[in-house]
């Protein structure tokens, strides 16, 4: 009798041990448990904590629950960190070879070292499956491309638009400009009436860069700006120097809020939102402020509208946008469950689009059918614009390598502050790009 007890005890012990080791093999994904009920675990790390981004957090959980239901053999294990901690953890785990199977990355410069270190898996096979690539807005997946392979599936997309206060515009009988020359007239009308025309916080530098990027995108037509950034053309070409000159003239004409080089974007935003400035060029991540955010006064939200950046000297196309995808999903190259992870990121990106825009107010990188969603008008307009976009010029600091971006941003601040001439501005770029190659 006693012996029996010992045997059962041992058996139970073994079972427990198996369960525990089973769990271990799941999380490491090596899968030596064998049998039918073999579970795979995908470790997934994201940066939307429940506290600060509840809507995002809930959508992620919803998608994961659906996925696990459809794939009972797979379990998704979450780790959630806030932005800065996320970046740190990603860097630390990458050096120790313990990256999560699936995680989030930023495009362009952020991605570069990870791709060079062969830590992220190319996802072209995922994109080519079921025409997933075509469901993305023009230019978004390209932002995650390096040496011909795509390393991330973009989730968010932001394009810059000129937001304006229609109450102020109405007061002075102003209308949305379609040409830059009209915009200049608006600026001088507002100045005559002692209204600050445009809010700009150029201490952050990328804010001023948006103005130059749009100006160069319009004047440089046929992609001259992108070619210059890629080192295939020179920044000293006439249209690009002209763009720099026009930007500088706008700054010196007093169109921007006083002391813009010392103001942060946050301060500029608060000037626009407290109706101290009539216009504000910012990306669509600000949309909630002008539509759904209850803490902003209803009057102000009703008054805000936006227009596409105008054509300059009759050149350019208003359906070309300066913007960039935000975070995207990556799959770790070293992952033990790479196939499952790829399947998961595909499922995630397919589900994310409509859910994110209707539940969290995120503009997704995938095209959204505006008939299916119930959203404020401004959202529908933006989504419509993106479905019809002809070109997406990536934010300069996303598109350039970190070194060149730093030069660009410093040069922008100097250009706005009239410390350098447009020609010097162009030469600084050419030099930095050449040095980088």
Residues interacting with other proteins, by CB under 8 A?
Answer: 91, 94-95, 109, 112-114, 116-117, 119, 196, 202-205, 257-264, 267, 271, 276, 402-403, 405-406, 410, 413-414, 417, 419
Q: Which is nearer to other proteins, 213 or 271 (CB)?
A: 271
Assigned token pair, 14: 């073994």
Q: Which is nearer to other proteins, 267 or 354 (CB)?
A: 267
Q: Which is nearer to other proteins, 134 or 147 (CB)?
A: 147
Q: Which is nearer to other proteins, 38 or 116 (CB)?
A: 116
- Residues near 396 by Cβ (< 8 Å), separated by ≥ 6? 206, 209, 212, 213, 229, 405, 408, 409
Q: Provide the minimum distance between the beta carbon of 420 and other proteins in the complex, in angstroms, as a whole number.
A: 8
Q: Provide the minimum distance between the beta carbon of 403 and other proteins in the complex, in angstroms, as a whole number.
A: 5
Q: Provide the minimum distance between the beta carbon of 434 and other proteins in the complex, in angstroms, as a whole number.
A: 16
**Helix (H), strand (E) at residue 74:** strand 74-80
**Tokens 């706005």 found at:** 416
Q: Which is nearer to other proteins, 8 or 274 (CB)?
A: 274
Q: Provide the minimum distance between the beta carbon of 94 and other proteins in the complex, in angstroms, as a whole number.
A: 6
**Tokens 């700006």 found at:** 225
Q: Which is nearer to other proteins, 25 or 399 (CB)?
A: 399
| Cα(284)–Cα(266) distance, integer angstroms | 15
Residues listed for the chain: 437
Q: Are 414 and 420 in contact (CB under 8 A)?
A: yes
| Cα(206)–Cα(171) distance, integer angstroms | 31
Q: Provide the minimum distance between the beta carbon of 120 and other proteins in the complex, in angstroms, as a whole number.
A: 11
Q: Which is nearer to other proteins, 205 or 342 (CB)?
A: 205
Write out the DSSP string of 198-247.
EE--TTSSHHHHHHHHHHHHHHTTTTHHHHHHTTSS-TTSHHHHHHHHHH
**299-305 long-range contacts, Cβ below 8 Å, gap at least 24?**
299/167, 300/165, 300/273, 300/275, 303/165, 303/166, 303/167, 303/168, 304/163, 304/164, 304/165, 304/166, 304/378, 305/163, 305/164, 305/166, 305/176, 305/378
Q: Provide the minimum distance between the beta carbon of 86 and other proteins in the complex, in angstroms, as a whole number.
A: 15
Q: Provide the minimum distance between the beta carbon of 220 and other proteins in the complex, in angstroms, as a whole number.
A: 24
- Residues near 11 by Cβ (< 8 Å), separated by ≥ 6? none
Distances from the Cα of 404 to the Cα of 9, 139, 187, angstroms: 67, 21, 32
Q: Provide the minimum distance between the beta carbon of 262 and other proteins in the complex, in angstroms, as a whole number.
A: 3
Q: How many whole angstroms from its chain centre is CA 371?
A: 24
Q: Provide the minimum distance between the beta carbon of 260 and other proteins in the complex, in angstroms, as a whole number.
A: 7
| Cα(309)–Cα(201) distance, integer angstroms | 18
| Cα(381)–Cα(281) distance, integer angstroms | 17
Assigned token pair, 372: 């299916």
Q: Which is nearer to other proteins, 370 or 414 (CB)?
A: 414
Q: Which is nearer to other proteins, 13 or 259 (CB)?
A: 259
Q: Are 202 and 263 in contact (CB under 8 A)?
A: yes
Q: Which is nearer to other proteins, 385 or 424 (CB)?
A: 424
Q: Which is nearer to other proteins, 330 or 352 (CB)?
A: 330
Q: Provide the minimum distance between the beta carbon of 432 and other proteins in the complex, in angstroms, as a whole number.
A: 11
Q: Provide the minimum distance between the beta carbon of 17 and other proteins in the complex, in angstroms, as a whole number.
A: 37
CA atoms within 13 A on the CB side of 252: 14
**Nearest one of 216, 236, 212, 238 to 226, comparing CA atoms:** 216
């Amino acid at each position: 009798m006693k012996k029996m007890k010992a045997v059962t005890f041992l058996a139970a012990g073994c079972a427990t041990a198996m369960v525990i080791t089973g769990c271990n093999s799941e999380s490491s994904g090596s899968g030596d448990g064998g049998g039918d009920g073999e579970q795979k675990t995908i470790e997934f790390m994201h940066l939307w904590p429940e506290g600060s981004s509840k809507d995002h957090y809930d959508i992620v959980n919803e998608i994961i629950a659906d996925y696990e239901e459809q794939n009972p053999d797979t379990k998704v294990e979450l780790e959630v960190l806030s932005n800065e901690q996320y970046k740190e953890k990603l860097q630390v785990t990458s050096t120790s070879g313990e990256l999560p199977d699936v995680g989030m990355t930023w495009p362009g410069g952020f991605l570069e070292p990870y791709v060079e270190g062969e830590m992220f898996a190319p996802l072209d096979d995922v994109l080519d499956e079921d025409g997933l690539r075509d469901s993305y807005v023009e230019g978004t997946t390209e932002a995650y491309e390096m040496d011909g392979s795509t390393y991330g599936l973009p989730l968010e997309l932001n394009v810059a638009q000129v937001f304006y206060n229609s109450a102020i515009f109405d007061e002075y009988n102003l209308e949305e400009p379609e040409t830059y020359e009209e915009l200049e007239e608006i600026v001088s009308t507002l100045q005559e009436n002692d209204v600050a025309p445009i809010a700009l916080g150029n201490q952050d530098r990328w804010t001023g860069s948006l103005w130059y990027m749009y100006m160069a995108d319009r004047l440089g037509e046929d992609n001259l700006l992108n070619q210059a950034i890629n080192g295939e053309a020179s920044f000293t070409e006439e249209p690009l120097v002209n763009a720099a000159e026009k930007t500088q003239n706008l700054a010196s004409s007093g169109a921007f809020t006083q002391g813009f080089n010392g103001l942060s974007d946050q301060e500029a935003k608060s000037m626009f939102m407290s109706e101290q400035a009539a216009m504000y060029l910012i990306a669509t991540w600000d949309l909630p402020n002008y539509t759904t955010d209850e803490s902003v006064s209803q009057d102000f939200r009703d008054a805000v509208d936006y227009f596409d950046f105008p054509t300059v000297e009759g050149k350019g196309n208003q359906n070309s946008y300066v913007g960039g995808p935000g975070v995207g999903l990556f799959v770790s190259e070293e992952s033990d469950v790479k196939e499952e992870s790829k399947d998961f990121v595909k499922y995630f990106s397919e589900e994310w689009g409509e859910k994110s825009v209707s539940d969290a107010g995120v503009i997704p990188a995938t095209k959204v059918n505006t008939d299916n969603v119930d959203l404020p008008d401004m959202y529908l307009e933006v989504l419509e614009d993106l479905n019809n976009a002809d070109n997406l010029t990536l934010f300069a600091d996303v598109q350039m390598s970190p070194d060149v971006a730093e030069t660009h941003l410093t040069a922008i601040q100097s250009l706005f502050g009239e410390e350098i001439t447009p020609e010097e501005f162009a030469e600084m770029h050419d030099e930095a790009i050449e040095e980088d190659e």
